[in-house]
A = this chain, B = another copy of it.
């Protein structure tokens, strides 16, 4: 591109040596207040900013991280990404985006590419089928979201808590026949944990459990909600917003009224389309922030990988 100035230019312009400029740039000690001020003055007078590539070459870190989402149009992941971007920018990291489309193979390809590019770290939105072995040598520079993996840092939602909160609210509202629409147990967090929490609550409160676990999609909610409706059913808990969206569509079409829906989610779309649904916020927004912060701490060696659980919020 055009002639960007270098520390050499700044040095010349402020009448000092290159290394002094370098020291000022990195806030190193050993520079007199006077020279520091003078150099800084010259620097922002000319809008100087050091070359990333040159620093990267010396320092081994190019200050780039990757965010691997499952799908760009995932409502929940969007909320998380929205909060993590500002954190990365603030710390000077460039976040590059990748999409896995729920394919372990794509994740593997992406990680390979990232490894070759010598990237600093990765935030990976977990999903079923992701083997821990393919995450290879990323232990120290990867944060997994929405799922935990042994040896890796992770930010998870309180799956059991979310369901318990929903169930309790429905129970307190007088509901005694609460059905459940969820995700297969092959999905440990959204599937197994939430379903188990449902079953447990039913057992503890002597409620009949009526559940189906069709999957993650809207269409699956739409097609399978009928399976969990009995003549006694007065409420329905959905494991995700997306399922609830599908279920609602069916209920509307069938003109089935008077059924209280509840879901884990709290996404803006849901709040607009169906404000009447009882929701809990699993903390998507918070999870993004936390994941970004955790990753940065690990990159800087200020933290070991650790598991973070986001508390549920009423909404």
Contacts and interface: CB of A to CB of B under 8 A. Distances in A.
How many monomers of this chain does the complex have?
2
Contacts of A113: 89
Contacts of A246: 272
Interface stretch (A21-29, A55-63, A145-153, A204-212): A55-63
Contacts of A60: 1
Interface string A76-93: 001101100100010000
Interface residues on A, range: 35 or more
B99 A96 contact: no
A54 interface: yes
A222 B249 CA distance: 17
B219 A94 contact: no
A249 B222 CA distance: 17
Interface of A: 1, 4, 47, 49, 51-54, 56-57, 60, 62, 64, 67, 72-73, 75, 78-79, 81-82, 85, 89, 94-99, 113, 116-118, 218-219, 222, 245-246, 249, 252, 268-269, 272-273
- Report the 6 A-B pairs with minimum CB-CB distance, sorted nearest first: A53-B56, A49-B116, A73-B78, A53-B57, A97-B97, A53-B53
Given A64-B94, A72-B78, A252-B252, 6 more contacts: A73-B73, A73-B268, A89-B98, A89-B113, A94-B96, A94-B117
